[in-house]
Structure 1
Amino acid sequence: MAHISKRFTRNMILMVAGMLSMLGLTVLQPANVSAQTYSVVSTTSMTKTAYHRSSAKGAVFNLAHTKKLANLKNYPNTTWYASKKVTLKHGSTKAIYYQVKNGAGTVSGYVWHSYLTKGKSPLTLTDAKAAVAMDAKTGKVIWSKNENTPRAIASVTKLMTLYLVLQKVAGKSATWNSKVTTSYSGLKSMGSSSVYGGFKFTKNSYTVKQLYDAALIDSSNNAAIALGQWVAGGSTPTYNKKFIKLMNAQAKKWHLGRASFVSANGMEQSALKGYGYSIGGANANLVSAKDVALIAKHLITDYPTVLKTSSIGSLKVSGQLCYNYNNLLPGRKYYNSALKVDGLKTGYTDLAGYCFVGTGQKSGHDRLITVVLHDAD
C-alpha cells in the first residue's frame, strides 16, 4: 500500500503542476523521488586498491545516486582506484559501493562493488590485428600483440614519406619554400576523389611546406606522392617509382626486416592504378607494428619539430581546410589532458582497417609511441 500511495501522490503532484502550467502559472517541480531513496549507512576508509570492471555493465554515480557520471562500458582498459567503502541503503536493501577514481584523475564517483574486480585492468585490443607500445627513447617494446607480423598500414605510410622529405629539407639542396610541381593529371584527379581526395590541386605547384602540412595534418594522398616525386628529383610517375626505392632503402638502412613499400601514400596498387601510379608487385605496403613504431621513433628523434605540426587540430593551407583525424588531440572526443598526446598519424583502407600511431610524453616519463594496426574502429 505504501508503494501505491507514493505513486498516487507523485501522479497527483504532476497533474496539478500540469493544470497550473495550462493556466500560465509556473510551479517548481519536485525532486526526483527515486533520488531520495539512497542514504549512507556507513563509510569505511580503505587502503588505495586497484580494480577494473568485471563486465560492461554498471556505471559510476555521485554519492546521492542522482547523477550518472560515467558508463563502465566506455572504460574497457581503465584501472579504478578505490579509497573508501560505502554502504548505501535503497528502500529496504543495503549495498556496498566503492568510491573510485581513474588513474588520470578525470573521473571519480561510486560504483557497486560487484561491477568491479580487484587488480589492474589488463590491456586488451580485441579487434586489432596487431599493436605495440614502445619507449621512444630506448626503443624498448613494453607491450605488444603480433608485433612482428607485416600488415597493410594505409596512410601510416606517410611517416616514412615525410621523414625523407624532412631529410631533404635539412640538407643544402632545398628549403620549405621550394616549389613542388603538381600539374600531373593523375594527382589532380586523386585530390578530387570522394574516396582518396581531400586536398585539391587547384594550382600547378605548391611549396614543400604546404604539401607537408596537407600530407601530415589532412593525410592528403596526392600531396604525399607529389612530395615523394620531388624528393626523387622529378614530377612524374617515373620519379614516384624512384622514390619508393628510396623508401625501401631507408627501411633497409634502419634494419626494418619486416617492411616493404610499393606506394608513397599507403593506397593499395589496385586503387593507384586508376591514377597512373601502380608500380607492380605486392598490392600494399606491408610493415609490422614494431617496424611502424621504429619509423615513428626515427622521425620524432631526428626531426622533433614534426610534433608541432602533428599536434595541430586543423589548419588552412592555400585556402583549404586541413583536418587532423587524431581524436586524442585537445578538443577531440578522446582527449585526456594527462596523456599529453601530440601526434602522430591515422590511416584507413578496407584492406588495412583502422590504423593509428600515437605519441605523447607525460611529465617525468619517457615519450611513448603506440601503434595499432587493422582495428575495427
Structure 2
Amino acid sequence: MLKKVFKKTKIAVISSVLAMPLLAQADDIQYGITAPELNAQTYILMDYNSGAVLAALNPDQRQYPASLTKMMTSYVVGDALKQGKIHNTDLVTIGESSWGKNFPGSSKMFLNLNQQVSVSDLNRGIIVVSGNDACVAMAEHISGSEQNFIDAMNKYAAQFGLKNTHFTTVHGLDDDNQYSSSRDMAIIGAHIIRDLPEEYKIYAEKDFTFNKIKQPNRNGLLWDKSINVDGMKTGHTDKAGYNLVASATGNGNMRLISVVMGVPTYKGREVESKKLLQWGFANFETFKALEAGKAVSEQSVYYGNSGKVQLGVLQDAFITLPKGRQADVKARYELEQKYLQAPLAKGQVVGQVVYQLEGKDIAKVNLQVMEEVSEGGFFGKAWDWLVLTVKSLFG
C-alpha cells in the first residue's frame, strides 16, 4: 500500500522513466557498490528501462564524439523512414560532395560518383561500416543540404533535453564546435532503441558488403558470446580517442547502455565497455514498479464533472535496485497540490511515486491522471468552493 504525502517540493531523482519529460539526473548516486576502474576520460552506465545511472565518471564532460555523431544521423534517417518521408527502396544519386574520394583516410562505404544507391544500403553504410560518404549522401537526400540536416540533428538534441551536445557535421570528423557527453550519448542510444526499433535492428548486423567490398562492424562486442551485446556504435579520431556506445540485455528483460569516451586504444574501448556492462548485470536488477493503466490511487477532484479520478502511469514504469533488495523498498506518493481541481487532462502529471531504500529516496516516477476530468457546472462548482472553504478553515 502506498503511503500518501502532500508536498510541493522537488525530489532528488535517482531513476525515472526516459519516455517521460523528467529524465534521470544521477551524477552522485551512491548504492554502496564500488564501480570498476576504467581507463577512459568519461563513462556512464545507464539502465535503459528505468533511466537509472549505475556508474559514471565525468558524465557531463564535453568530448569530441567522433563517429558516435552518426547515432544522431541515424536517428534522423530512421525517423524520416518511420514517418514515410523516405523509403528504403528510394534511389539516391551520388554527387560530388558524397563521393567516397572526398574522404581519404577515413571510414566510408566507397560510393562512386553518379552511382545510384538505395536508402537501405546507405543506412547500413552509416550504421554498420560508419561511412562518412553515406552520411553526406543521406543528409542531402533527406534535407537538401548537409546544413539543413545538421539543423535537424540539433533540433532532436534539444527535444531530448541534451545539455552538452552540439553537432556541426553529419559524420563526426573533429570540429571545435562539435561536442557531446557520455550521458547525452546514452540518452541518444535509448531514444534509438525505444523510438526506432527497426532502425536499431541494423546495429546488430556484423558486416556489410557494397561495391563488392565487405566490411565488418567495428563494434567487436557483437562477436563476444559471454555478453549479449546487440548494438551500438564506435568512434575514433586523434582528438577524441576511442569511443564506444554499447547496449546489452541480461537478467531477464534488463537492458543496459554503456558509453566510454576517450579510451587510449582500439581494443581498450571494448574491454572497458564489457567490464562496465558485466559489473552492472552482476550487481543490479530492474523490475516493473508500476503497470501502465493500473490505478495506484483514487483521489477526490473539485470543480469537475466527476468527483473522483484515478491516478497511475500511462506507460510501464521501472526502477533499478541492487540485487536482492526489492523486498526492502518502500514507496509513497506525493501530490503537487493537496486538493486536485478540474480541468485535468489525461496523462497530466499531478505528483510522484517516490521509492525509498534504507531511508533514502532512490527513485521517482511521475504520477499521472488516468482519464480526463472536465469542468463541472455552475452549481457543482459553487458547492465545491464551499466545501474547500470549510476544509481550509479546519486545516
- Structure 1 counterpart of 2:363: none
- Structure 2 counterpart of 1:148: 60
Q: Which TM-score applies when normalising by structure 2?
A: 0.56
Q: Deviations over 1:251-279 (max 9, x none)?
A: 0111111111101110124xxxxxxxxxx
Change (3 A) 1:320 1:370: same
* Aligned counterpart in structure 1 of residue 112 of structure 2, from 199, 202, 205: 202
**How far off is 1:122 after superposition?**
4.4
- Structure 1 counterpart of 2:156: 250
Greater gyration radius: 1
**How far off is 1:305 after superposition?**
2.5
Q: What is the identity, as a one-letter code, of the residue corresponding to 1:208?
A: V
Greater CA drift, 353-362 or 176-185:
176-185
Contact 2:100 2:133 in 1 (8 A): yes
Q: Deviations over 1:267-305 (max 9, x none)?
A: 124xxxxxxxxxxxxx25211110000000000111123
Contact 2:139 2:146 in 1 (8 A): yes
Greater CA drift, 250-259 or 175-184:
175-184
Contact 1:190 1:197 in 2 (8 A): no
CA distance in 2, matches of 1:172, 1:264: 21
- Structure 2 counterpart of 1:226: 137
CA distance in 2, matches of 1:364, 1:284: 41
CA distance in 1, matches of 2:243, 2:173: 13
Tell me the C-alpha RMSD between the 2 structures: 1.9
Aligned residues: 233
Q: What is the identity, as a one-letter code, of the residue corresponding to 1:198?
A: K
Q: Which TM-score applies when normalising by structure 1?
A: 0.59
CA distance in 1, matches of 2:204, 2:122: 17
* Aligned counterpart in structure 1 of residue 199 of structure 2, from 300, 303, 306: 306
- Structure 2 counterpart of 1:370: 258
CA distance in 2, matches of 1:186, 1:306: 22
* Aligned counterpart in structure 1 of residue 213 of structure 2, from 304, 316, 320: 320
- Structure 2 counterpart of 1:132: 44
CA distance in 2, matches of 1:190, 1:363: 46
Contact 1:180 1:226 in 2 (8 A): yes
- Structure 2 counterpart of 1:350: 238
SS of the equivalent of 2:194 reads helix
Change (3 A) 1:144 1:167: same
SS of the equivalent of 1:139 reads coil
Aligned ranges 1:170-319 → 2 under 5 Å: 170-185=82-97, 187-191=99-103, 193=104, 195-204=105-114, 205-232=116-143, 234=144, 239-269=145-175, 283-319=176-212
- Structure 2 counterpart of 1:69: none
- Structure 2 counterpart of 1:60: none
Structure 1: runs of 5+ lacking an equivalent: 1-119, 270-282
Q: Percent sequence identity over matched residues?
A: 28
Contact 1:267 1:284 in 2 (8 A): no
* Aligned counterpart in structure 2 of residue 161 of structure 1, from 56, 60, 73: 73
Structure 2: runs of 5+ lacking an equivalent: 1-32, 266-395
**How far off is 1:165 after superposition?**
0.3
CA distance in 1, matches of 2:194, 2:72: 13
CA distance in 2, matches of 1:196, 1:190: 10
> Relative contact order, CA 8 A, sep 6+: which one is greater?
2
CA distance in 1, matches of 2:61, 2:205: 31
SS of the equivalent of 2:235 reads strand
Q: What is the identity, as a one-letter code, of the residue corresponding to 2:239?
A: L
Q: Which runs of 4+ in 1 moved over 4 A?
A: none
Q: What is the identity, as a one-letter code, of the residue corresponding to 1:265?
A: H
CA distance in 2, matches of 1:130, 1:314: 28
